[in-house]
Homo-oligomer: A and B are copies of this chain.
Amino acid sequence: MKDPKDIKKTIGSIGEFGFIEKIRQSLKTKDKSILSGIGDDAAIFKPTSGHELVFTTDMLVEGRHFDWKFITPWQLGAKTMAVNISDCAAMGAKPTVAVVSLGIPKNYPVANLETFYDGMKSMGESFGAHIVGGDTVGSDQFVVNVALIGEVESGKALRRSGAKAGDAIFVTGTLGDSGAGLHALKHPSENNPDAAATLVKRHLNPTPRFTVGRALSTKRLATAAIDISDGLSSEVHHLCDESKLGAEIHEEALPISPSLKAYCASHGLDPLEFILSGGEDYELLFTVPLTHISQVLQKVPGETGTPLKSIGRMVPAVKGIVLITRKGERLPLKAKGFDHFSKK
């Protein structure tokens, strides 16, 4: 419950230390591996023996990654944490502890910051991650950075570099929805509002594919994995680059949601554009040896509730990275994913 008299307080009026004290109370945890959380020079935690740690970070900047016109503080908090958990999931790891740095404009309301933290905390804790520290500074733009640690059983991390020629390429869920959701936010229309609403939700509330990542790593079913944050085409390129291979992707196999199909049909758009370069789907792309395909299809969707689709296969590097169209043409698949500095 927010204190009503706090609603109009700004971060400038209560100050850095006043804010930290508020947040600290709400982030206390009983997790015994966390020996000391917020309130010291650093948090202290005990890693589980027999595990390796994964370490990832993501920074989101107002006006680049999000627009307060479209996203609430709670949603942004949850999404920031989800984006980092998605990286952990792509490694097959369990997220454990996070630190959060915030650059906050002086007139930003404290009540909004609290709901922002509620969103982060809620998303983090639903996957076992606790916020154990951070930094809070003044800034012109709102900037948030999360650094997240996860644990994975020794030797079982899923890397981008492990794919072999002949492996089948799988993706979770459906692709392109988030990019189309952003399009719908930027181009409001009366046209097909239900489809637009579903896509917007996929853009604002991504779910990291944690259970799939864990199933793949613990059962050693995948040879490589990556999360789809910048659009399918550039993630396929990253995976091929790291594994020193090429890939064939079949257009007709790409998983398209009914909402994306309907939205694109009613707005004269091409779903393939969103799938290949839409970004922010946070689905997993992974490779499976032929011997493990039936086990993956039999076990993973049932155990995780996440649909999987085989979209192509890894090939030797000399064959390049190609998209095989519905008509059977082989087109070079260019990496058209989002680049934060490109001049698109």
Chain A contacts to B: CB under 8 angstroms: 11-12, 14-17, 19, 35-36, 39-47, 49, 52-61, 63-65, 86-88, 90-91, 93, 97, 99-104, 106, 132-141, 143, 145, 147-150, 152, 154, 157, 159-161, 225-227, 242, 339-343
Given contacts A40-B242, A41-B226, A147-B147, contact A101 B58 (CB under 8 A): yes
Q: What 5 A-B pairs have minimum CB-CB distances, sorted nearest first?
A: A147-B147, A42-B56, A42-B54, A59-B101, A41-B90
Given contacts A41-B91, A42-B88, A101-B147, 17 further A-B contacts (CB under 8 A): A39-B242, A41-B87, A41-B88, A42-B56, A42-B87, A44-B159, A57-B135, A58-B101, A59-B101, A59-B135, A61-B138, A64-B137, A64-B138, A64-B139, A65-B137, A104-B341, A145-B145
- Determine which of B42, B47, B93 lies in contact with A42 in the assembled complex, contact meaning CB atoms within 8 Å: B93
User: How far in angstroms is the closest Cβ of chain B from A95?
Assistant: 10
Query: A140 CA to B14 CA in the complex, in Å?
Result: 26
Contact flag A45-B52 (CB < 8 Å), given A61-B103, A141-B141: yes
Q: Which of A90, A149, A227 has the most CB of B within 10 A?
A: A149
Q: Which of B36, B138, B141 contacts A340 (CB 8 A)?
A: B138
Contact partners of A152 in chain B: CB under 8 A? 44
A160: B residues at CB distance < 8 A: 39-41
Q: Which residues of B contact A138 (CB under 8 A)?
A: 61, 64, 340-341
Chain B residues within 8 Å of A161, by CB: 39-40
List the B residue with the shortest CB-CB distance to A64: B138
Partner of A99, one of B56, B341, B343: B56
- Minimum CB–CB distance from A175 to chain B (whole Å) comes to 17
